Chains A and B, each alone.
Chain A
Amino acid sequence: MNTLEMAPKKKVGAIMVVGAGVAGMQASLDLASSGYYVYLVDRSPAIGGIMAQLDKTFPTNDCAMCIISPKLVEVGRHINIELLPNTEVESLQGQAGDFTATLKSQPRYIDLTSCTACGQCSQVCPALTVNEFNQGVDRREATFMKYPQAIPRGYSIDRDVCIGCGLCEKICLAESIRYDDRPRLTDVKVGAVILAVGNDVFDPAVLDDSTGYLRHPNVVTSLEFERILSASGPYRGHLMRPYDREEPRKIAWLQCVGSRDVNHCNNPYCSGVCCMYAIKEAVIAMEHAHSGLDTAIFFMDMRTYGKDFEQFYNRAREEHGVRFLRSRVHSVTPVGDGDLEIAYMNESGEVFTEVFNMVVLSVGFEVGRETQELAKRLGVELNENRFARTGSFTPVATSREGVFVCGTLQSPKDIPQSVLEASAAAAASSILLSDSRWDEAKTESKPFEVDVKGEPPRIGLFVCQCGINIGGVVDVPAVREYARSLPHVAYVEDNLYTCSQDTQDKMIEVIKEKNLNRVIVAACTPSTHEPLFRETLESAGLNKYLFEMANIRNHDSWVHQGDPAKATDKAKDLVRMAVAKAALLEPLKEPALSVTAGALVIGGGVAGMVAAKSIADQGYPVHLVEQASQLGGQALKLHKTWRGDSIPEYVEMLISEVNAHGGITVHLSTTVGDVQGFVGNFSSTLRNGDQSLQVEHGVAVIATGAHEYKPEEYLYRKSSQVLTHQELDARFNENDPRLHDIQSAVFIQCVGSREPERPYCSRVCCTHSVESALELKRRNPSADVYVLYRDMRTYGERELLYQEARKSGILFVRYSLDRKPVVREVEGILQVTVWDAILDGEVVLSPDLITLATAVVPNETKLLSRYFKIPVNAQNFFVEAHAKLRPVDFATDGVFLCGLAHYPKSVDESIAQAQAAASRAALLLSRDSVYFSGTIAQVDPAWCSSCGVCVSICPYSAPRFVESGRFEGKAEVNEALCKGCGLCTASCRSGAIRLQGFSDDQILAMIDAF
């Protein structure tokens, strides 16, 4: 027998990511940048998913499009990401490491390689349909681009709507229409698959219409309302109601539409995001309103359980005056001409009615039928709620080996949780395939570059007509002729489409032939096209920074259509200014930085151990530092996950795996003493008693964790019958015989959380109490168990546990902050008095056991904050680089965050975040060196007055004082850390800092040229 055949087949270093929403994009970017080739498949003609439809994102109210569009562009241009839009996965054969996926791509009918997205086709198209992107609030043509910022940038034809009249082909100057396009089947070989197909939003049309959704246009879904609020939406961001475009004066939000509901639909789970987005929408709507807007949110439990969510809720209520009505809505009835009457019942059972001008249905998530079919085709199990089945300790692994899941298909969740899970799925894939890293992926080669230093500028100018988009308004030949007269301009031409492939080829020829050393394109916008033209320069042997754009379309022809003469004048001005800058452009170097292939993980709890193991499993050495004498952290004190799995068993297994791992060096009873260096080149001092050890590492992961708050109230420490959660878990773990005698138990929620001194929600305690209450019931079914709560925050699928608890007879009594329960000991017997809002009266309980659901408090953060220059918030949790899209990164490059040090979270969430941190770390570790942008600041020490304003103002800690040598005490900018924003340059009191590519002389030359 041939022994070669017996050898395990080499795994394929490529991954298929299915679904190109924010999760799929993140997974793709992580993998494509760390040595894998990615096939990114999406059913839709454009990537971006639901996030692209949102107006703002909570809790920071960032513009969703502004933060997602750079990612769209990055995905679209990545050399290791192959975009497959309009594509479905037909089948998946093979096994982990060696899959063959059969893909079916629907025809697009417009050739993406030549389509310039000018939009002429859709302007003439006579066939209209509802615009799904705007959720049907307006319409679109059969030839369409999903949204203006869509990637791939190109139109497609909706064959279901197209009548085949042929007008678009006649009008398309780029000759991109392909009516003979056919469905295509393709096979791709991949080692792993990541499912990130997301969810549908619940369609209230399937309800019995007690919400009035089908009967009245002024009842809209929350996603429709996002589009209404969006500046690029159907009403261009003006707050209007659909029926008559009047600005509403009163808007109501109805929560839990299609969530926590088994009567009208089969969605027992909580969708986890609706409370927050409703508050956000209310606040944003008030900002949009011209006169006072009254907003009311009808809810059951307000679930603001995430980082900074509770504070957002408090501000909405206290500062913005959003009304929160804890109630059950009975019906919505159209009244008058466009208004809606809501009938609802408050907590004490009284029925009220109130009239609103508009009603928003806070619709939840739902796994769509197409996704369920996909899961079946792929052999991936779904759970009873139709989400992908995953385990407590393997949150991104599906039932099929080698197929991973992230985002809302895994369970309902918000954007940051989806993004970090995406990175976690990337890490899991990378661990599986690490032997094949760089097998399929390409590396960018640095092309030969002509030295143009010292040469007088010879500027080539290309003026684009953009079909008729520019040429139809601006007199392009006149601009072209005018440009010939400008200084240093050696060559001018105009093109029908400067961005088309044939023009690009010609541009390369012209640059060489005419000896051009600066290039200007007067066309659309650098935000979409600068990278393309820069690539062309590189192909012609020119440094890519010798390029400038004049935006004569988006900023000129498109916005001055009615005044061609002035638009032409403006185009000439813009070109003249670009020429003035271009003459001063210099070739810039992109600094390369070597990376030490090793990580330092600080914190040996579950998060730290998982991060360490995930990095080491990818082949990079890890130092794992734990200040305690054993690994395990808080998880050692826990009993079960919310899915009912034993935590001690898992932790024990994890500890032994970490200890046995050849790639992990564990340092117990050790702290970090000092940290020097920066991304790729850190050097840290580890201290264990008197001993110290110096370790070199390229990245660091902060997983310092948190601990349980020990309260002063509710007779804690005064009565042996009053415990914290972890103390009760310890008794569960030990099978303490005292547990069997408990006849009556009370859980008190929000002890030390959601109070002025600790205003955040600790996220895990509601679920913990429900699980522990159930555990008591399991051990003694006749016991009376009470949970005293403020809002039950059993978010996501944890809601099912809450339902189970209620079914099992556990009683839930709501209290409010101004009437907290009182715990007394009367003659040796515990007595709990609580005001029940439903009974509107006092309830007195005499439990054998009181469990306090106390806050999660972060561990010491100050020193690490200083060492790594990473910020902490007012509650001492570390602050990530971006609340939405960079949930495990810090603004300081090369440092990552996971676990409780970020915010309270459950074990499965900690594991996912730790895997995510490992994925982000691998982005750096997988390369010998990393390149940075040439657009960076430089200090001239001769001018520097050592005032330090640059050091204090830089958000990335790039400038610092030189410590020794000739320029000691002067500032210098670390080119690896500089992001090129120019904040320091504009603040320098001595004019010592120059931002390359945007220097004073270049900017002033442009202004002076006007």
Chain B
Amino acid sequence: MSKTFEPKILAFLCNWCSYAGADLAGVSRFQYPPTIRVMRTMCSGRVDPTYIFEGLENGFDSVFVFGCHIGDCHYIDGNVHTAKRMNLVKEVLGLAGIGKDRMHLRWVSAAEGQLFADSVKELSEVTAELGPLDMEAAQLPLAAARRTFESPRLRWLLGMDRELTERENVYHEKIDPAAYDQLLKEAAKEELEKALILETLKEGSLSVRSIASKSGLPVYTVSQRLGDIERAGQVDLDRYEGTTPLFVSLAV
């Protein structure tokens, strides 16, 4: 079945390099499978991480992002941000159980028509191997992953990455990039856990154990993250069923 399966893929191409590279592939008649549907953005830096999940939620089996090679960005270094964001997107896709390979980032210059065609071919095969995204199973993690990248905390941390690791923080210190990367990953994990809980609570009041079994999170993790969400005023204790407290989402 996977041999005959032809995935549908959403591809973001930056205007100056990869879009032009794709044009060149056409001009050069480099053949590649008819899997991708292209979105043109001026810079790969325009690709909001939530678009990846928007794509997957709408039936695409994978999302590709193409940008200029590092150093070639027409907006100085927008693609550096893209790289950092998409790294984290992959991390979250992995954590959420959707699969890191449902998203790929490649650099293709305006002169690399062949590379573009080859990349699409190669990544399409990778996606075909994965098979179609099981929407039934992926619905909750996708919604949660999307919510993760909507969280003001993660967006802020992502946005401040280079300011804090390459220039300086308010104390005139540089943060070690590896340490910041770790911090980002931890924050993403926590935000995903919170998002999973909030998404699960959409069906009504639930106990910690039922949130855990529905979200796949460990019981104690649910208890701990629930604490964070409660502190932010997004969840409250609703009622008891015997000795089991049920929690309700206050998020709109």
| A163 at the B interface (CB under 8 A) | yes
List the A side residues contacting B173 at CB < 8 Å: 164
| A710 at the B interface (CB under 8 A) | no
Binary interface profile of B, 223-251, with partner A (CB < 8 Å = 1, else 0)? Answer: 11011101111000100101111010000
A236 and B236 CA atoms in complex are apart in Å by 10
A592 and B34 CA atoms in complex are apart in Å by 94
Assess the A126–B243 pair: CB atoms within 8 A.
no
With beta carbons under 8 angstroms apart, the residue of B175, B219, B228 that contacts A337 is B219
| A137-B227, A164-B171, A238-B237 given; A243·B164 CB < 8 A | no
Assess the A166–B169 pair: CB atoms within 8 A.
yes
| A166-B169, A234-B227 given; A244·B208 CB < 8 A | yes
Binary interface profile of B, 190-215, with partner A (CB < 8 Å = 1, else 0)? Answer: 10000000000000000111001000
Q: How far is the CB of A248 from chain B (nearest CB, A)?
A: 8
| A217 at the B interface (CB under 8 A) | yes
Assess the B219–A163 pair: CB atoms within 8 A.
no
Assess the A290–B170 pair: CB atoms within 8 A.
no
A914 and B244 CA atoms in complex are apart in Å by 52
Question: How many residue pairs, one in A and one in B, have C-beta atoms under 8 Å apart?
Answer: 95
Q: How far is the CB of B152 from chain A (nearest CB, A)?
A: 7
| A242 at the B interface (CB under 8 A) | yes
| A245-B208, A290-B243 given; A126·B156 CB < 8 A | yes
Please report which residues of chain A, range 158-202, place their CB below 8 angstroms from some CB of chain B when the two chains form the complex: 159, 163-167, 169, 179
| A291 at the B interface (CB under 8 A) | yes
- Count B interface residues, CB 8 Å: 40
| A637 at the B interface (CB under 8 A) | no
The B interface, classified by DSSP as helix, strand, loop or mixed, is helix
Assess the A238–B170 pair: CB atoms within 8 A.
no
List the B side residues contacting A139 at CB < 8 Å: 227-228, 231
Q: How far is the CB of A135 from chain B (nearest CB, A)?
A: 13
| A240 at the B interface (CB under 8 A) | yes
A240 and B244 CA atoms in complex are apart in Å by 9
List the B side residues contacting A791 at CB < 8 Å: none
Please report which residues of chain A, range 241-270, place their CB below 8 angstroms from some CB of chain B when the two chains form the complex: 242-249
Q: How far is the CB of B223 from chain A (nearest CB, A)?
A: 5
Assess the B242–A291 pair: CB atoms within 8 A.
yes
Assess the B220–A165 pair: CB atoms within 8 A.
no
Binary interface profile of A, 104-142, with partner B (CB < 8 Å = 1, else 0)? Answer: 000000000000000000011011100000000111000
| A379 at the B interface (CB under 8 A) | no
List the B side residues contacting A217 at CB < 8 Å: 220, 223
Assess the A165–B169 pair: CB atoms within 8 A.
yes
| A139-B227, A217-B220, A242-B223 given; A169·B208 CB < 8 A | no
- Count A interface residues, CB 8 Å: 35
Please report which residues of chain B, range 103-148, place their CB below 8 angstroms from some CB of chain A when the two chains form the complex: none
With beta carbons under 8 angstroms apart, the residue of B164, B227, B228, B231 that contacts A165 is B164
Q: How far is the CB of B216 from chain A (nearest CB, A)?
A: 15
| B157 at the A interface (CB under 8 A) | yes
With beta carbons under 8 angstroms apart, the residue of B171, B175, B207, B220 that contacts A179 is B171
Please report which residues of chain B, range 27-59, place their CB below 8 angstroms from some CB of chain A when the two chains form the complex: none
List the B side residues contacting A127 at CB < 8 Å: 183
Assess the A291–B169 pair: CB atoms within 8 A.
no
| B160 at the A interface (CB under 8 A) | yes
| B187 at the A interface (CB under 8 A) | yes
| B74 at the A interface (CB under 8 A) | no
Q: Interface centre among A240, A245, A246, A338, by most B CB within 10 Å?
A: A245
Assess the B169–A249 pair: CB atoms within 8 A.
no
Assess the B228–A163 pair: CB atoms within 8 A.
no
With beta carbons under 8 angstroms apart, the residue of B169, B183, B231, B245 that contacts A238 is B245
Q: How far is the CB of A159 from chain B (nearest CB, A)?
A: 8
Q: Interface centre among A139, A164, A561, by most B CB within 10 Å?
A: A164
Assess the A179–B170 pair: CB atoms within 8 A.
yes
Binary interface profile of A, 83-113, with partner B (CB < 8 Å = 1, else 0)? Answer: 0000000000000000000000000000000
List the A side residues contacting B183 at CB < 8 Å: 127, 163
Q: Closest chain B residue to A165 by CB distance?
A: B160
| A126-B153, A179-B171 given; A245·B243 CB < 8 A | no
Assess the A247–B219 pair: CB atoms within 8 A.
no
List the B side residues contacting A290 at CB < 8 Å: 240, 242-243
Assess the B223–A244 pair: CB atoms within 8 A.
yes
Q: How far is the CB of B229 from chain A (nearest CB, A)?
A: 11
Assess the A244–B220 pair: CB atoms within 8 A.
yes
List the A side residues contacting B160 at CB < 8 Å: 163, 165-166
| A126-B156, A244-B209, A247-B243 given; A163·B164 CB < 8 A | yes
Q: How far is the CB of A804 from chain B (nearest CB, A)?
A: 45
Assess the A126–B157 pair: CB atoms within 8 A.
yes
List the A side residues contacting B212 at CB < 8 Å: 244
Q: Closest chain A residue to B227 by CB distance?
A: A138
Assess the A163–B175 pair: CB atoms within 8 A.
yes
A967 and B10 CA atoms in complex are apart in Å by 95
List the B side residues contacting A561 at CB < 8 Å: 233
List the B side residues contacting A246 at CB < 8 Å: 207-209, 243-245
List the A side residues contacting B226 at CB < 8 Å: 245
A128 and B157 CA atoms in complex are apart in Å by 12
A151 and B187 CA atoms in complex are apart in Å by 31
A457 and B192 CA atoms in complex are apart in Å by 58
List the B side residues contacting A244 at CB < 8 Å: 207-209, 212, 219-220, 222-223
List the A side residues contacting B240 at CB < 8 Å: 247, 290
Q: Interface centre among A163, A166, A236, A291, by most B CB within 10 Å?
A: A163
Assess the B170–A291 pair: CB atoms within 8 A.
no
A234 and B224 CA atoms in complex are apart in Å by 10
List the B side residues contacting A163 at CB < 8 Å: 160, 164, 169, 175, 180, 183
With beta carbons under 8 angstroms apart, the residue of A124, A169, A243, A291 that contacts B220 is A243
A289 and B244 CA atoms in complex are apart in Å by 11
| A243-B220, A246-B208, A338-B219 given; A126·B187 CB < 8 A | yes
Assess the A138–B243 pair: CB atoms within 8 A.
no
Q: Closest chain A residue to B161 by CB distance?
A: A165
A159 and B168 CA atoms in complex are apart in Å by 15
List the B side residues contacting A137 at CB < 8 Å: 227
List the A side residues contacting B157 at CB < 8 Å: 126, 165
A242 and B168 CA atoms in complex are apart in Å by 39
A337 and B209 CA atoms in complex are apart in Å by 11
Assess the A247–B245 pair: CB atoms within 8 A.
yes
Q: How far is the CB of A120 from chain B (nearest CB, A)?
A: 13
The chain A residues found within 8 Å of chain B, CB to CB, are 123-124, 126-128, 137-139, 159, 163-167, 169, 179, 217, 234, 236, 238, 240, 242-249, 289-291, 337-338, 561
List 27 A-B residue pairs with CB atoms under 8 Å apart, sorted by A's residue number.
A124-B152, A124-B156, A126-B153, A126-B156, A128-B190, A128-B228, A138-B227, A139-B231, A163-B160, A163-B164, A163-B180, A165-B163, A166-B160, A166-B170, A169-B170, A179-B171, A217-B220, A238-B237, A238-B245, A243-B219, A243-B220, A245-B226, A246-B243, A247-B243, A247-B245, A289-B243, A338-B219
Q: Contacts A124-B152, A139-B227 known; list 13 others, CB within 8 Å.
A: A126-B157, A138-B224, A164-B168, A164-B175, A165-B163, A166-B170, A179-B170, A179-B171, A244-B207, A244-B220, A245-B207, A245-B223, A247-B245
The chain B residues found within 8 Å of chain A, CB to CB, are 152-153, 156-157, 160, 163-164, 168-171, 173, 175, 180, 183, 187, 190, 207-209, 212, 219-220, 222-224, 226-228, 230-233, 237, 240, 242-245, 247
Q: 4 shortest A-B CB distances, which residue pairs?
A: A164-B169, A247-B243, A179-B170, A138-B227
